[in-house]
Amino acid sequence: MPVALFLLLKQRKSRVHTKQLPPGPPAWPIFGNIFDLGAIPHQTLYKLKEKHGPVIWLKLGYTNTLVIESAEAAAELFKNHDLAFSDRKVPLVLTAHDYNQGSMAIGRYGACSGVSAHQSS
């Protein structure tokens, strides 16, 4: 049992280091960085910008969050990495009966998104 636990932790740790994520504070296992934000989150994010830079990776619960805190970083994100961040996270409840398929507001981003927005019925 201890050997299996050791191998599982080692595999998980090696997987985490292979991702190229922006810097950010270490996260708690289940809660992530929610408790790190404090009562005044915008001031905490400003302090994190001074420590980690204009692009910060936070984990809020189970949701990974990319925080952009400068106009230059935002411009680069929207110009060079727009397709990687253009999709929406669809709640699992709406995917059960495919309610997300016909909706422009909660549907996934794709080739038909722009076409269907300009079609008239």
CA nearest to 20, candidates 61, 98, 81: 81
What are the residues whose beta carbons fall under 8 Å from the beta carbon of 38, sequence distance 6 or more?
Answer: 44
Instruction: Round to whole Å and give the CA distance between 25 and 9.
Output: 20
Residues paired with 45 in a beta bridge: none
Q: What is residue 52's predicted lDDT score, i.e. its pLDDT? A: 94
Q: State which residues form the domain around 109.
A: 88-121
* Domain total in the chain: 2
More confident residue, 38 or 115: 38
Do 70 and 99 reside in the same domain of the chain?
Answer: no
CA distances from residue 103 to 13, 92, 98 in whole angstroms, order as listed? 39, 15, 10
Do 76 and 48 reside in the same domain of the chain?
Answer: yes
Whether the pLDDT of residue 24 is over 70: the answer is: yes
Q: What is the mean pLDDT of the chain?
A: 76
Do 47 and 63 reside in the same domain of the chain?
Answer: yes
**What's the rounded mean pLDDT across residues 59-66?**
89
